[in-house]
């Protein structure tokens, strides 16, 4: 988890800024969660952007490209304090086609449980930020990774740790796809990433923010607005080899300084191969037994 305020492009409208992304086993199937719009950005409008799309991208059996997309869109904020929401599914080549309409699965309003075919359940609403971290640690890790130096935490102890996100809120999308669903199916190894897109004046769609593994860009592109925005606009399959080399070099530097790997360069390359492409791969099949993998 944690992708808060990671690029200049997403910070222009916090409703498009992904903060957390989860995939795990639910009550009846596989649950996908996407969180956006942290209250830490105090000037952000409430809710979801009515000219945006919020998509879960799913790759089956190690595929390079997604072959299943669940796409959500929202209406304007209304006098009743909510927004309309619609969910569509796109399969095959349409799953990666912004011009494709897909199939409408469910419609409803934010704040209410929405049901759909084959046991589908959807909820969207404001919730407490689930991410827990003491930013003192993050800043220390950022400094060490950037400089290739030892991690320094003078005076810090676990018993004095405090969550820097305590009391903050996000807007969450929680989608459960039941085992009986014909699109996702069961007993499949899947890779998942989430993305926000904004309508352009030319009639197309611009990718604003994407997320797969936890803390990739906050750790490996800290305070690097242009690079982080460029990376967020790409597809996971297009990250290699340039981003792999960048991550491998940073990892090698920090493990060499801290003496935590016998061959820093080989370890750096191994970490980069593990992290990229930036697609979350839950442990085990979509059907039990599966503990899932949060990010």
Stretch among 44-58, 62-76, 218-232 having the lowest mean pLDDT = 218-232
CB 82, CB 110: distance < 8 Å: yes
Query: What is the count of structural domains for the chain?
Result: 2
Q: Is the pLDDT of residue 28 over 50?
A: yes
Give the pLDDT of residue 75: 97
Q: What is the pLDDT of residue 216?
A: 83
* Selected residue with higher pLDDT from 113 and 242: 113
Would you say residue 120 lies in a domain?
A: yes
**Which residues are within 8 A (CB) of 41 and not within 5 positions of it... i.e. 6 or more apart?**
5, 11, 14, 17
In Å, what is the CA distance from 166 to each residue of 3, 39, 43?
Answer: 16, 11, 19
Do 31 and 155 lie in one domain? The reply is no
Question: Are residues 203 and 220 both part of a single domain?
Answer: yes
β pairing state of 190-199 and 169-178: unpaired
Identify whether 51 is part of a domain.
Answer: yes
CA-based Rg of the chain, rounded to a whole angstrom? 19
DSSP element (H, E) containing 216: helix 216-220
Residues 179 and 221 in one domain: yes
Whether the Cβ atoms of residue 191 and residue 281 lie closer than 8 Å to each other: yes
Percentage of the chain exceeding pLDDT 70:
92
Query: Helix H segments across 95-172?
Result: 135-147
What's the confidence (pLDDT) of residue 294? 42
Look at the pTM and tell me if it is higher than 0.75. yes
Residue span of the structural domain in which 271 resides: 133-166+240-276
pLDDT for the residue 37: 92
Q: Which residue has the higher pLDDT, 44 or 289?
A: 44
**2 within a domain of the structure (yes/no):** no
Strands of 26-67, DSSP E: 29-36, 52-60
- For residue 234, the tally of other CB atoms under 10 A from its CB is 14
Is pLDDT above 90 for 79? no
Name residues whose C-beta falls within 8 Å of residue 115's C-beta, 6 or more positions apart in sequence: 106, 121, 122
Q: How far is CA 204 from the centre of its chain?
A: 22
Query: For position 223, what pLDDT does the model report?
Result: 65
**What's the CA gap between 32 and 24, in Å, rounded?**
7
Give the Cα separation of 168 and 291 in Å (integer).
27
Q: Please give the helix or strand (H or E) that residue 234 lies within, else none.
A: none
For 94-113, the pLDDT digits (tens) are 999 999 999 999 999 999 99
Q: How far from 200 is each of 69, 80, 98, 208, 251, CA to CA, in Å?
A: 20, 28, 12, 11, 37
**Residue 246: band (very low, low, confident or very high) from pLDDT cuts 50, 70, 90:** very high
227 and 244 housed in the same domain:
no
**In this predicted structure, what is the pLDDT of residue 164?**
86
Do 100 and 153 fall within a single domain?
no
45 and 158 inside one domain: no
Using CA atoms, how far residue 23 sits from 63, 195, 233, in Å, is 18, 14, 22
Task: Please tell me the number of Cα atoms within 13 Å of 175 on its side-chain side.
Answer: 29
| Whether residue 156 sits in one domain with residue 62 | no
In a domain, 106, yes or no: yes
Q: Are residues 55 and 84 in the same domain?
A: yes
Is residue 179 situated within a structural domain? Answer: yes
The answer to the question of residue 38 being in a domain is yes
Q: Which of 76, 61, 28, 16 is nearest to 287 (CA)?
A: 28
Same domain, 59 and 12: yes
| Average pLDDT of span 63-74 | 96
Quote the pLDDT of residue 287: 43
10 Å Cβ neighbour count for 230?
13
**Across all residues in the chain, what is the average pLDDT?**
88
> Is 1 a member of any domain?
no
* Residue whose entry in the numeric block shows the structure tokens 């649950």: 31
Per-residue model confidence (pLDDT) at position 292: 40
Angle, to 10 degrees, between the axis of helix 264-275 and the axis of helix 242-258? 130
For residue 49, pLDDT over 60 is answered with yes
Residues 122 and 262 in one domain: no
Q: Do both 178 and 159 map to the same domain? A: no
Claim to verify: residue 59 and residue 157 sit in the same structural domain: no
Is the residue at 3 inside a domain?
no
């Amino acid at each position: 988890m944690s992708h808060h305020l990671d690029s200049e492009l997403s910070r222009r409208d916090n409703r498009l800024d992904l903060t957390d992304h989860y995939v795990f086993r639910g009550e009846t199937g596989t649950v996908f969660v996407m969180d956006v719009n942290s209250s830490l950005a105090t000037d952000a409008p409430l809710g979801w952007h009515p000219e945006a799309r919020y998509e879960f991208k799913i790759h089956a059996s190690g595929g390079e490209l997604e072959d299943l997309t669940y796409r959500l869109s929202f209406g304007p904020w209304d006098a009743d304090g909510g927004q309309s929401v619609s969910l569509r599914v796109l399969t095959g080549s349409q799953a990666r086609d912004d011009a494709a309409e897909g199939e409408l699965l469910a419609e409803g309003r934010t704040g209410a449980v929405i049901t759909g075919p084959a046991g589908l359940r959807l909820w969207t609403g404001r919730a407490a930020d689930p991410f827990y971290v003491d930013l003192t640690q993050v800043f220390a890790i950022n400094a060490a990774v950037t400089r290739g130096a030892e991690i320094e935490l003078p005076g810090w102890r676990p018993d004095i740790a405090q969550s820097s996100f305590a009391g903050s809120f996000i807007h969450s999308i929680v989608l459960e796809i039941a085992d009986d669903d014909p699109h996702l199916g069961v007993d499949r190894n899947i890779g998942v990433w989430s993305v926000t897109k904004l309508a352009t004046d030319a009639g197309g769609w611009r990718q604003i923010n994407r997320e797969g593994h936890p803390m990739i860009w906050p750790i490996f592109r800290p305070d690097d607005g242009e690079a982080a925005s460029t990376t967020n606009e790409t597809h996971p399959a297009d990250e290699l080899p340039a981003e792999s080399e960048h991550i491998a070099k940073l990892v090698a530097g920090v493990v060499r300084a801290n003496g935590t790997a016998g061959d820093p360069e080989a370890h750096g390359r191994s970490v980069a191969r593990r992290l990229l492409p930036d697609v979350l791969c839950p442990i085990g099949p979509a059907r039990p037994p599966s503990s899932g993998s949060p990010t």
